[in-house]
Structure 1
Amino acid sequence: MRPLDQKETLMVFNKLKNYIGGNIRVLLERPDGLYCFRLQRDRIYYVKESIMKFAANLPRDSVMSLGVCFGKITKGGRFLLHITALEFLHPYCMNKVWLRESAEQNFMYGNHVLKSGMARISENTPKYAGLIVFSSKDIPLGFGVSAKATAECRHADPMDIVCFHQADIGEYIRNEEELV
């Protein structure tokens, strides 16, 4: 595992800024210690610095992973968030969308959120902003990108897409064959 270079750090922070805004500092300087991002192959890991110091004594090729996988860098050079980052990002998110119970399963199958399935959306959400998708019972379900601003959602047709699907907690089950 190695520290991120300047280009990789900028790419990761821009993606996180889209979802949690200026709360990136809160993510790195937590009350239980300092955290950092590390790169192993094409995966970005979120690791406590004290654990990282212990792992520094191990050879690089013997460490498979360390910490929580936040995402991966694609071959095209983009950073994609993994669903494992949801637990750490949802307390700090700026823009949220809540789904009706009838639309939760549809989102969990990897489909976009329609206006008819949206229960509510946070105020002043801009177009193409990162969203955390919640169930009607405030359980975080995944990531999305707003297809419309909050004002546009109020006047949209019921079959219009209001949130583009990015990742959801159902991916564990759908991708089980790839992991084995």
Structure 2
Amino acid sequence: MKRLSDERAKILFEKLSKYVGNNVKQLIDRPDGTYCFREHRDRVYYVSERILKLSECMGQERLICVGTCFGKFSKTNKLKFHITALYYLAPYAQYKVWVKPSFEQQFLYGNHIPKNGLGRITENTGQYQGVVVYSMNDLPLGFGVTARSTTECKTADPLVNVCFHQSDIGEYIRSEDTLF
């Protein structure tokens, strides 16, 4: 496990701030200890410093992973969050979208959210803002990016996409062959 380079750390924190805003500090300095981000084979892991110290006695070639995988860097150096980051980011989400019960399954199949599938949206959400998608029962379902701002959603056509799908908890089933 190695430290993130300055360039990759900047990409990670920009992406995190897109979803959680200034709450990134709360991810690192938590009541149960200090956490950090480490990289291993182009994947970013969120790990407690206490566990990281214990893992240092293992050789890197023998180490599979330590901590929770937050995402993966592509060959073009873009970061894509994995769904395993959802439960760490959801409590700190700055902007949220709630999906109607009739559209939950469609979102979990990887479809974008049209206006007629939108239950609620956080006020003052801008266009192309990172959001956490919830069910109406406040269960986090995945990540998305708003296609329209809150004010545009009020006057939009019912079939227009208001949130683009990024990832969801249904990915475990859809891509179980390629995860490992």
- Tell whether the structures are fold-level matches, with TM greater than 0.5: yes
Give 5+ residue unaligned stretches, structure 2. none
The 3-state SS of whatever aligns with 2:61 is helix
Q: Does 1:123 align with 2:123?
A: yes
Alpha-carbon separation, structure 1, partners of 2:123 and 2:79: 27
1:2 aligned residue: 2
Q: Does 1:72 align with 2:59?
A: no
The 3-state SS of whatever aligns with 1:10 is helix
Equivalent positions of 1:12-27 (< 5 A) are: 12-27=12-27
Alpha-carbon separation, structure 2, partners of 1:17 and 1:179: 26
Aligned Cα root-mean-square deviation (Å) = 0.7
Deviations 1:44-72 (A, max 9, x none): 00000010011111111111000000000
2:32 aligned residue: 32
Equivalent positions of 1:1-180 (< 5 A) are: 1-179=1-179
Between the two proteins, the alignment pairs up a number of residues equal to 180
Alpha-carbon separation, structure 2, partners of 1:20 and 1:108: 22
Aligned-pair CA distance for 1:139: 0.3
Alpha-carbon separation, structure 2, partners of 1:179 and 1:99: 26
TM-score (norm 1): 0.98
Alpha-carbon separation, structure 1, partners of 2:177 and 2:72: 19
TM-score (norm 2): 0.98
Give 5+ residue unaligned stretches, structure 1. none
Alpha-carbon separation, structure 2, partners of 1:179 and 1:152: 37
Deviations 1:130-150 (A, max 9, x none): 000000111000000000000
The 3-state SS of whatever aligns with 1:141 is strand
